[in-house]
Chain A
Amino acid sequence: MPDLSTSTGGIHSPNPFWLASAPPANSGLQIQRAFEAGWGGAVWKTLGVPIQNVSSRFGGHTIRGVQGAGFSNIELITDRTLEANLREIAETKRLFPKNPIIVSLMEETEASWRDLIKQSIDAGADGLELNFGCPHGMCERGMGSAVGQEPAINERITSWAVKYSTVPVLVKLTPNVSDIVPHGLAAKRGGAKGVSLINTIKSIIGVDIDTFVPQPVVRNQSTNGGYCGAAVKPIALHMVAALAREKDFGLPISGIGGITNWRDAVEFILLGSSTVQVCTEVMLRGYPIVQDMIDGLQQYMRTHHFSRIDQMIGKAIPAYSEWGDLDMNYETVAKINADKCIGCQVCVAACHDGAHQCIHPQEGTRVPRIDESECVGCNLCQIVCPVPDCISMVSVDNGQKPASWNDHVTHGTQLRPKKGVH
């Protein structure tokens, strides 16, 4: 049986699945039910000076009929009293000593950070997560992403936290920056033991086109919120990978953003995460989703002969390269398996209108023909094809030696002739 135990920044966990700091980790009873269901750890809903929330506060993004494909919120940090949160942290720790509780914090002054850190650790926190990420409300008050967007402030506050903390400090980064790397490095300079990312993405989830009010609607107004859920996974994966492959970084990563199942979790781990956190999918489906995450991951590890999580962490990073280092002489063309084709010709429209006009209808059959001499191998047709394994991208032996753009620029290496350019 593969070993699922792992750790991020010295915070040990029986499995890599943590609740992200958000409504599913709002209270002791919730987190206890989550641990019961199998969650490895939990990042407590951000503590700070308790706030007051609005109604409504969430928005769902329906994409082609799939409800909740994306999700947004305008809620702030905890609205519960500090006493209640601390009491429940202690209680939950007593009941589930093996499951790490990471307490998320957001404060303003050094003194208030110091006090909150002490109280959290006294209550039993196994680690702290500094919330430098919230993109709405809190940042207007000079906290959250206002901190995460300024490396110098990030570093300073992280160093305060590290100074006052006896447990590992993780910094939760905001994706609302053009390049994540300086922010990860700032956290590192501040002494963080690891980072968590991503928090939510600044967004407007939609507009009610009949009442002219953006969503979510608060009486007759709205505000920008934080986007999350399945749709944000690609953005999160990139940011995680950008830090994982940064030579000067090297801190453990807790990956967050759009994780809905074990497959997503595996992707985050392969790109450098040692734990993963989930918020939206739990909000949409409940704690029991972790069962599939656990045994799906175990089965994946068995099939790939991994016995421990650390053997997987960052395994896809070596293959993540700069565009300039990709082999430009590698050539593929699309092939249609006529036996599988159902004749929708969606690929014809896609190629004609959105690619290189090289898939053509044929007389006497609904199965289209690919003009391979024109096909640039973009794989748009494969992406739109509704039939799995019907269109495949086949590599072409063009007799060319591998050559990247950088090889070409620096050494004048010959590139293959361009295709599809007229």
Chain B
Amino acid sequence: MTAPLSTQRSETVFQDFKLPLHRDAAVAEANRCLFCSDAPCIQACPTAIDIPQFIRKIATDNVHGSAATIFDSNILGMSCSRVCPVEVLCVGSCVYNHLEQPPIAIGKLQRYATDLAFENGWKFFTAGPSTGKRVALIGSGPASLAAAHQLRRFGHACTIFEKRSTVGGLNSTGVAPYKMKADRSLDEVEWILSIGGIEVKTDVSVGTDISLTSLEKDFDAIFVGVGLGADTALGVPGESLAGVHGAVSWIESMKLGSVGMAAVQRAVVIGGGNTAIDAVRETLGLGIPSVTMLYRGTHSGMSGYSHEWKAAMEQGAQAVWQSVATAIEGNGRAQRVKCVQVDDHKAPIAASDFTLQADLVLIAIGQSKLASMLSSLSGICIDKGCIRVDTNGFTGRDKWFAGGDCANGGKEVVNAAAEGKAAAMSINHHLMGHHAHA
């Protein structure tokens, strides 16, 4: 199915940034939970995991039941426990924040329960009796995996088409290795697929290797979970020099293969979002002595999470605010970035140019949208590059559903998981004759 991982992956040097909890610490932490009614943490979780309940079960050493509660809402609960930005989701909403006491370590507790479930090989789900219906899923990222697993619980046969050799989407190829490495993502995929009846075809790009119309003909429903596309280019001279990479593409090389960093002394990461911060923390973690983030906005205006930037600064990151790159220069490979300061309206300020030395330049200013691959299908509306869907993931064209980054424009793994599951519920209605979205 999926290509085996190389053992020579640069990502393997990373240690977990958030350390796992052992039993006693987990039980002690779980016992702090107030078991709030109508709990804000549940509301803050896109998959609405019954957090107080799973935590209470940890407190009583009912870890099996705890994991069952988590997975029942979110089959990607194990990766989410590591990669979710809990600081702005569940943990951020914990009422202890109002008490000037540390909020409950929900992510760590979720990791404790789901890791134990995985390590003990506990099985929680069986596929529903076969309905004879077949669903195609495009992409093998969190959205498709959540959808496929839920569809199997209903008894529909699933086929996932994945253009890469590696399954799992950005969970395998994109998330920062100090949160989760590719092997854990692949373990999770295998665990999800163990429900049976999900065929995975890797190295098949839908639209190229197999047409949309043939999918529509051969399947009873299609779920589109293609995520986002390639890194957006900066559009400045020198972008094709060696040592200049799109950040997402560089991260993929670092996670799945080896990126030689020995000669790199200075890196510049261009952008101010979470991918940019990840790239900063990753380059620092790989031992590059000097890493600078170059961002056109202000510190307070950056879209990356402040808790992530704080961690980056603690690692030694530097930042240049309100500045843009005008050119990348070097003799065959990148050596410096020419920059200019910009004002509050992002307009260049005269005579403010400066130069940053850099032998690695990572461009993290966004990813292209893939929705246009569906533009030939009437009835599907593409809105600012995103596939427009209703709250149930229905596109408006019979049989076609979508979710995850390709529909929401790029959010988190947990959103993709929630949207994939919601779409599966609605596909089930569609297939079994109740048009939920009529």
Contacts and interface: CB of A to CB of B under 8 A. Distances in A.
Given A262-B60, A299-B64, A292 B53 contact: yes
A299 B63 CA distance: 9
B7 interface: no
Interface stretch (A26-34, A281-289, A329-337): A281-289
Contacts of B56: 261, 285, 289, 292
A206 interface: no
Contacts of A289: 35, 56
Contacts of A214: none
Interface in B21-39: 23-24, 35, 37
Interface residues of B, number: 17
7 contacts: A261-B56, A262-B60, A285-B35, A288-B50, A288-B53, A291-B53, A295-B65
A262 B62 contact: yes
B68 interface: yes
B120 to A, nearest CB: 11
Contacts of B69: 291
Interface in A258-293: 261-263, 285-286, 288-289, 291-292
A296 B24 contact: no
Nearest to B64: A299
Contacts of A388: 23-24
A124 to B, nearest CB: 30
Interface string A317-360: 00000000000000000000000000000000000000000000
A211 to B, nearest CB: 27
B37 A295 contact: no
A298 B56 CA distance: 16
B60 A263 contact: yes
A287 to B, nearest CB: 10
A296 to B, nearest CB: 4
Interface of B: 23-24, 35, 37, 50, 52-53, 56-57, 59-62, 64-65, 68-69
A295 B68 contact: yes
Contacts of B50: 288
B76 to A, nearest CB: 21
Interface of A: 261-263, 285-286, 288-289, 291-292, 295-296, 298-299, 388
- For the complex, would chain B's binding face be called helix, strand, loop or mixed by DSSP majority? helix
Contacts of A299: 62, 64-65
A200 to B, nearest CB: 23
A261 B64 contact: no
Name the 9 nearest CB pairs between A and B, nearest first: A295-B65, A296-B62, A261-B60, A299-B64, A292-B57, A285-B35, A292-B56, A388-B24, A292-B62
A289 B69 CA distance: 13
A298 B62 CA distance: 10
Contacts of A296: 57, 60-62, 65
A295 B35 contact: no
Contact of A292 (B23, B24, B60): B60
A269 to B, nearest CB: 15
B64 A295 contact: yes
Given A286-B37, A296-B60, A296-B61, 16 more contacts: A262-B62, A263-B61, A285-B35, A286-B35, A288-B35, A289-B35, A289-B56, A291-B57, A291-B65, A292-B56, A292-B60, A292-B65, A295-B62, A295-B64, A299-B65, A388-B24
Contacts of B24: 388
Nearest to B69: A291
A291 B37 CA distance: 15
B263 to A, nearest CB: 44
B32 to A, nearest CB: 11
A92 to B, nearest CB: 22
B67 to A, nearest CB: 10
B345 to A, nearest CB: 52
